[in-house]
Each structure stands twice: as C-alpha cells, then as structure tokens.
Structure 1
Amino acid sequence: MSKKIIEIEDNNQFSLSTGDLMAALLLIFVLLLIGTMLKLQEEFDSKSDIAERYKELQLELYNDLYDEFEDDLEVWDAEIDSALTIRFKEPDVLFDAGSSNLKSSFAEILNVFFPRYINVLQNDKYIEHIEEIRIEGHTSIEGRNGMDEQEAYFYNMKLSQDRTRSVLQYCLNLLDGNTVAWTRDRATANGLSSVKPIAENQTESGRKQNRRVEFRIKTDAEEQIREMLRYAEN
C-alpha cells in the first residue's frame, strides 16, 4: 500500500526565506560597522587635532625660550634644540674634574638663567602643560686611573647624579614662594653617566663635548601623541 505524500504550502505572506533573513542580518551588520567606523574616525581625527595643537605648543615654547636666551647662549657656550633641551657644553665652566661642587662660573650663569627659564615655563600658555623639568648630568667614559670600564661607569653614574642634585638644589634656592613649590613638584635630577654621548669618546675634544649639563622639558604633548599612536595601532 503506497503512502500518500501531502505537500503543505506555506501561504504566510509575512514569512522570510533563509536567504532573506541572512541578507537582513548582513545589512544590519554593515550598518553597525559603518557607524562604528565613523565614530572611530571622528575620535581619531579629534586626537590628531589635539596632537597637532600640542606640537604647535612645543614649537611656540621653543621660540619663546630661544627669544629669551638668544643673546646669552653664545656667551654661556650653550645651545637650545627643537626638543626643548638647553645644553651647557663647556665642562671647564661647570665643575672641577671629579667634583660635584658648582664652579663659581656656572653658579653665575645659573643665577641669570634659571629664574628667567622658569618664568617662561610659567607663562599662561604653558604652565598647565609642563610635566617635568629634567636636569641631566652627562660624563665621558673615563673614570679614575686604574678603573676598568664597569668601575668607570658606576663612578661616573654617581658623579653625574651628585652633580645634578647640586644643580637642582642651587637652582631651587634661587626661587621663592609659589614659584619654588611649583618648580620643586616638577624638577628632577638625572645622572646618566656616559650612556648618552653626543660625540666620540676616542678624542679629548669628543670627551669634552660629552661632559655637559642639560635642562630638558617634558610636556604632556608627548603623552597625547603616544596615546594617539596607540589608538591608531589598535
């Protein structure tokens, strides 16, 4: 006895085929993706604008520092670069060999330099953007007679740290009131031994260039740019 196959016709006009359902879901997904991409682009553009403004701020700060000290840099044997570093390059003016005591010649420079330096940084344009005022001490590679390379490195590390602390202490004593408090909260003393030379250590002229003191400014611009780059990578 054969079985009778009964075909049931679906006459529901509101029913969707599997293909229609998948197409609808795909459309929703595409719309959500477009919305997300537009939001990400808007946020990225915003962060790019912020980074650009901060780069402009750093350029303005460089120009103001240069204008302030243009007439003094050659006299002091100093220079300022676009990374907001002021570099005192004449070691014979700074310290006696092996000593962390400021020479009177360097103290006289700091008397003129540091209060004006802080005055520029406390300009209304910059004061909220200054994160750190780094005083860095750098040495050449040689230590005392008879020291091997590692002994000389640690000797110079201690010497450079002692020197930057001396500079920082002296500079803070040139300020008073709210200015000294603001500066103390941001100033750091960083002895870097011989690890960041700017010239070859094989010649006396190169070693002389490497014995230096630098004042560097870290603004929150750098963090804004780093954040933007991290955002872009993600």
Structure 2
Amino acid sequence: MVNTEEHIEQEEHWVSVSDLMAGLMMVFLLIAIVFMVNAEIERNKIRDVAVLYDRLRTQLYEDLLTEFQPDLDAWGAEINEDLSIRFGRPELIFDKGENELKTEFKAILEDFFPRYLAIIASEKYRDDIAEVRIEGHTSSGWLGRAEDEAYILNMGLSQARTRSTLSFLLEIPAVQNEKQWLKAHMTANGLSSSKPIYTAAGEENREGSRRVEFRLRTDAESRIAAILESQK
C-alpha cells in the first residue's frame, strides 16, 4: 500500500508541474499574439506604402501624359504607365554606331527636359523621386561580330550614349536652378541589347531596339525594404 503522505507529495509535485506548463503555455501564447499583431502592423505599413505608391504613379503618369501628349508623335516618343518615356526613332537620336547626339535630338531634349523636370522636381513629387534613370538601348547586332562580342561592344556604345545625353542635359540653361537635385538623382545606364523590342511575330525589331528611355524610380521600394529589414 502506498504511503498516504508520499501519495500527497506526489500529487503536489504533479500539480506544480502542471501549473508550470500552463504558465509556459500562456507565455508562448502571449508571445505568439504579440508577434501576430506586430506582423499585421508591418503588413499594414507595406500595404499603405503600396497604395500611396500606386496613387503617386497614377497621378504622375497622368501629369506627364497631359504635358507631353501633343508632342509625342513628332518626337517619336511614348509614355508608359510604368513612368518610362521612350524615344524610339533612332534616326532622330544618334547616327548608327555613334554616341554624339544628333541636332534633332538636342532640339527635342531642350524642349522636353525642362518641362519634364518641372513636373518631377515640383513640390508635389520631388520628395518621392529616388532616381531619374537615363537608359541607353541598342539592337543585338554589330556588323561582322559574334554575338557575345557584339553585346560587349553595344554595352560600351549604350553607356557612351547615356553619358553624352546626361552631359547635354546638365548644360541646358533652363535646368540650372535644379542642377544639384539632378546630380543627386539622375543616373546614366547603358544596357546594350539586354532589353530588345520584338515584333508581333516574335522577331527583334532592330530599329525599335535602338532607343533612349527616361525612367523614374520612386522611394516606395526603399520604404518597403526598410520595413522588411526592421522585421529581421
């Protein structure tokens, strides 16, 4: 027969262990609740940034389209909802294989860029612009050269063209009052033939591939990245 006092001590021992386990479960539950609440807060922050970014992009696209739509055909240009502006008539931009801006393109830029800057650097948008990208694109060919060699040669050409474009833009008299802002936000990016334009038949449109694009990157990406980093 089990000693009564020993039996009582065993019951008290198991009761204390069960109380401890219940307490630990409550602690874990509270931690889980706090974690879920914090995760929900961070998700809401990301959602809010995404909503603001979408509204910003929509409004900026509409403002750019309103300003430039009458000129797009004459410039051989188009404005896309991703906030890119594409100048796609190579005969107006550069001579084949050259990086010096043609007179026609200089005239276009002297008209386009001060008006473009007046929008993106306005009080309405300037604090949300992280980068103004000038992108140079080429076709995939280079006469008499193998594919890889053509790609490298076109990389050098596209980079030289964007540098020439950037240099010209910084000297336009009408943008001098925003020169420091431009130097802090504008970049020149040569992309060679990495993003060609294709026809409906799936073939490269070599004329269309030779182009210059202006792209905007807002600070929405950096805000979201900061939120995600804070979760680590």
Query: For this structure pair, what is the TM-score category when the shorter chain's length is used for normalisation?
Result: 0.7 to 0.9
Which residue number in structure 1 is paired with residue 169 of structure 2?
171
| Secondary structure, counterpart of 2:78 in structure 1 | strand
The amino acid of 1:153's aligned partner reads Y
- Asked whether the 8 Å contact 2:197–2:206 carries over to 1, the reply is no
Q: How does 1:1-234 map to 2 (within 5 A)?
A: 7-8=5-6, 9=8, 16-144=15-143, 146-174=144-172, 175-199=174-198, 206-226=205-225
Cα distance in 2 for residues equivalent to 1:67 and 1:36: 46
**Partner letter of residue 169 of structure 2?**
C
Q: Structure 2: which 5+ runs fail to align?
A: none
Task: Tell me if the contact between 1:55 and 1:221 (Cα under 8 Å) persists in the aligned partners.
Answer: no
> How far is 1:186 from its partner?
1.2
Alpha carbons of 1:27 and 1:118: their partners in 2 closer, same or farther (altered >3 Å)? same
Instruction: Tell me how far 1:20 sits from its aligned partner.
Output: 2.6
Q: Deviations over 1:76-127 (max 9, x none)?
A: 1100111110000100111111111111111110010001111101111210
Between structure 1 and structure 2, the one with the greater Rg is: 1
Q: Which residue identity does 2:186 align to in structure 1? A: A
Code of the residue aligned with 1:173 in structure 2: it is E
- Measured after TM superposition, the shift of residue 225 of structure 1 is 4.1
Q: CA RMSD in A?
A: 2.8
Change beyond 3 A, Cα 1:18–1:168: same
Q: Distance in 1 between matches of 2:165 and 2:202?
A: 27
The alpha-carbon distance between structure 1 residues 5 and 76, as it changes in their structure 2 partners (threshold 3 A), is: closer
Query: Deviations along 1:115-152, whole A, 9 cap, x unmatched?
Result: 111110111121011111111111111113x2222222
Structure having the higher helix fraction is: 2
CA distance in 2, matches of 1:149, 1:84: 31
Q: Tell whether the 8 Å contact from 1:100 to 1:159 is kept in structure 2 after alignment.
A: yes
- Distance across 2 between alignment mates of 1:191 and 1:160: 4
Identity of aligned residues (%): 44
Q: Unmatched 5+ residue regions in structure 1?
A: none
Per the TM alignment, residue 228 of structure 1 is displaced from its structure 2 partner at its CA by 5.7
Distance in 1 (CA, whole Å) between partners of 2:61 and 2:109 is 19
Change (3 A) 1:185 1:152: same
TM-score w.r.t. length of structure 1 = 0.86
Letter in 2 for 1:75: A
- More off after superposition, 94-103 vs 223-232: 223-232
Q: Is the 8 A contact 2:137 2:193 kept in 1?
A: yes
